[in-house]
Structures are given as structure tokens and as C-alpha cells.
Structure 1
Amino acid sequence: MAGIIRLFRCAFILLVVDSAMVNLRVFAALQSFIANEIVTDVIPVAPDAVANVLYPSGVEVNEGNVLTPTQVKDRPTVTWEADPDAYYTVAMVDPDVPSRVNRSQGEWQHWIVGNFPGNGEDCGETLSEYVGAGPPAGSGFHRYVFLVYEQPCLLTFDEPRLNNTSMANRPLFSITRFAEKYNLGDPIAGNFFQAEYDDYVPILFAQLGA
């Protein structure tokens, strides 16, 4: 976790040294969440800052850029400007299930980690193990949304713990209802990418028992 702590500290230094650049990026983040209808489809209010999301494959999430399921199959590193005395919840959801024009099964819960300490001393509590993007063939582009919430305190979650070998309890999720249940407020940071079907998707579906 030392690397993440260093990233937090660097982010804080950048905010102090070049606040104008940060203000521009915050404004752009707000607009990207609105322009891509993540506000209304997923959350009521856009986050105030961009969360940095980097995958082991080397690709980085950048406010709606197009990535492939192959590139995002492994759990990413997510960093943001954190209060060392606070706890956070990080989530990834897909509202476009089975497709963006028919979101009858969305949101699909891809990943949730709660009680993540801002000081980076441990990895938090995994509620849903990470499952990468798996848009079905012919369903077009899906939006994959990362959200970071600052918790009011260390929480006791009564959610079922989900592994990455089953689809059970993942469809028909709502991150907004989840946030309301645990009094998380609006997300403080976020990011998202888009992806459509590639040859990794059947492998993922087999992993999930589909």
C-alpha cells in the first residue's frame, strides 16, 4: 500500500502547486458525467473530482475513453485525494445492462470495497470481488462507472459478500440506494470508461458460470 500512499501525497502536492489546472479538470469531470448521462442514470449529482484508475495492463481510465474488456480484466488501482483520518467506499457499476437502450437489468455491480482507510494502512473490506467489463455481443458500448464515497465513520455492512465466480446478486443494483442506506452522501470522486464486446467476454462469462 505504500505506493498508493505516495500517490495520495503527490496528488495533494499537485493540488497546492497548480490549483488552476485542478479546477479545470474538476470542471471537465462534472461536464463529462453530465454529458454522458451518468448523472440521472446512475447518480443524482456529479462528483467534484476525478479518481485516477490505472489497470495492470497499463491502460488508464479517462472520463469516457474506450477500453477493451481484455484491457480491464484485472482489478485496477484507484487513487484520489484522501483524508488520512477518513474511511471510503469505492464502487464500479455498469448501468447499461443488457444494453444502453435497454437498461432493464442495470445497474450491474462489478466491484465494491468499503471501509478503505484514507491512510492506506490496509485494503479495506471487499463486499464484491472485482469483475471486469463483460458487454454481450451486439449490445454496443457500455459505461463502466467508478465512484468514491467518503464514509461518515467505520461502517458495518450487511450486504452479501460476492465472489468473482458467480453473477448472483449483481444485477438490478443501485449505487444511489446503497449510498442512501449507509449515509454516504454524494460521491466525492469518480471516473468512467466505455467498452464493447471482445474475445475476452466469453471467458469472463464462463468464469461467472453463465
Structure 2
Amino acid sequence: MLFRHFYNRLPLQLLSIRKHFLTNKQNYTVIKNTQTYHNYNIIPDVFDEAPNEPLIIQFKNGIEVDYGNILQPKDVLEPPIIQWEHDAKKYYTLCMLDVDLPTRLEPILRSFQLWFVGNILGQNYMETGETYANYIGIGPPKNTGYHRYVIFVCEQKNKIDYSPLIKGDLMLPRYRNHFNYKEFSKQYNLGIPIAGNFFLAQYDETVPKVYKKLNNLSLFVTPLK
């Protein structure tokens, strides 16, 4: 009651500012997010425009992704829990990329698919989605510095037949390389992702486990010496 009494006596100018902030909160978030994508060159390396909404991503032990924060490969061995603003009747596509393989200075394999799920009805990607590239964790080669890992969700106009994407065994690295989202989005009329987020990571002792999942990725990506 005391707080309500104080709130009711706030000067009209402060109430006006508060109302303006709440009304335009989404706009502030969009501006901040867009600038962050530019700061890390996600624009233009992956997108032409930034996703409007943050993608809520939480890995095991409560580890969250937060626009360029640093995680370790050992933190992300298992698929995360992901949330976004969604319509239960619409379909979505979920994608995770390593933008900097084998290195950020020479990303000749850009972008490398780490996870790809299409035709997700609503937000239930674990049960309704069609997985075209299983989640494998991340594998930044040794001595290549920090890599950028981008995770995003696109809203589909309708259900999509993604089967032409499967050109070989997706546990072989060569079939996950050179994923160009800009071209892909035009092909399937996906537009700018509705939500996204990204983190940075470099090599740790768990990376060889990821290589084994991919039939020895290290044979295709030679670490720098």
C-alpha cells in the first residue's frame, strides 16, 4: 500500500517517461541487438539484418547464451533448451552455425552446420521438428582462437520439404560445410530470422569427442601450428 501510494504521487513527467519506456521497450531491444550483431560482424557474415527478438538459450547446468559471451566446448556438449516468441500453429526452422571454420581470418568452410531442425510446430522442436543435421556440439580447432557460434530461428510460411538438403551422410563434415543462410533464406522464402543469439568459444580438451562424432573432423580441418 505504501508503494502504491508513493507511485500515485509520482510527478506527471516521471509517469510520462515510464509510459514511454514501456511502450518503446521493444524498440530499444531491437536497436541494442542490431548493434551487437554489427559489433561482432554477424552482420554481414551471416545476416543482412538482425533478428528482432533474443533467442533464449540455456545449456546444461544453467549456462546461458548472451550475445557474444564466452562459453567452453565442454559447456555445450548436449543440445540446449531454447525458447522464443511463437505461434503454436506456425512452423519454424532452427539452425546453429560455426561461422569461423577453420579460422575467423580464413573461414573457407563458412558456415558449418552444427544443428538443423525444420518444420517445428510451435516451439516443440524436440517432438514435432524434422532433424536434418543432428546436434553435435562444437569443435573449434586448436590454436584458431575464438569462433562465433550463431543460433537462430526462422518463421516458415508453410511446411517445407527440406529433403533436397540431404546430399550425403551428415555425419561427414563435407556435407555440413558452406551453408550460406542468405542464399538459403531466399530459396525457401524464410526472410530474416525472428529470433537469434550467439556466443564465442575456443578449443578445449572435449573437442576431439566432437571430431569422433563426425568421422574425425580433424582430417578435414587441419589445426594451425
TM over 0.5: yes
Deviations 1:149-170 (A, max 9, x none): 1001011112118777432401
**Which residue of structure 1 aligns with residue 179 of structure 2?**
173
Name which of 37, 41, 48 aligns with 1:37. 41
Map residues 75-154 of structure 1 onto 2, 5 A cutoff: 75-118=79-122, 120=124, 122-154=127-159
Quickly say closer, same or farther: Cα 1:47–1:207, change in 2 above 3 A: same
Amino acid at match of 1:148: V
Map residues 32-71 of structure 1 onto 2, 5 A cutoff: 32-71=36-75
Report percent identity of matched pairs. Answer: 36
Cα distance in 2, alignment partners of residues 30 and 161 from structure 1: 34
Which one has a larger percent helix, Structure 1 or Structure 2? 2
Quickly say closer, same or farther: Cα 1:149–1:105, change in 2 above 3 A: same
Indicate if the aligned counterparts of 1:142 and 1:194 stay in contact, CA closer than 8 A.
yes
**Which residue of structure 2 aligns with residue 199 of structure 1?**
205
Poorly superposed stretches of 4+, deviation over 2 Å: 18-27, 119-123, 161-166
1:144 to partner: Cα distance: 0.2
Cα distance in 1, alignment partners of residues 96 and 123 from structure 2: 21
1:178 to partner: Cα distance: 1.6
Map residues 18-29 of structure 1 onto 2, 5 A cutoff: 20-29=24-33
Count of residues in Structure 1 that have an aligned counterpart in Structure 2: 193
TM-score by length of 1: 0.85
Indicate if the aligned counterparts of 1:131 and 1:164 stay in contact, CA closer than 8 A.
no
**Which residue of structure 2 aligns with residue 14 of structure 1?**
none
**Which residue of structure 1 aligns with residue 191 of structure 2?**
185
Kindly report the root-mean-square deviation, in angstroms, between the aligned alpha carbons of the 2 structures. 1.9
Cα distance in 1, alignment partners of residues 72 and 23 from structure 2: 33
Structure 2 residue runs of 5 or longer lacking an equivalent are 1-21, 217-225
Cα distance in 1, alignment partners of residues 170 and 62 from structure 2: 22
Cα distance in 2, alignment partners of residues 176 and 200 from structure 1: 31
Quickly say closer, same or farther: Cα 1:83–1:161, change in 2 above 3 A: farther
Structure 1 residue runs of 5 or longer lacking an equivalent are 1-17
Cα distance in 2, alignment partners of residues 155 and 19 from structure 1: 36
Quickly say closer, same or farther: Cα 1:103–1:92, change in 2 above 3 A: same
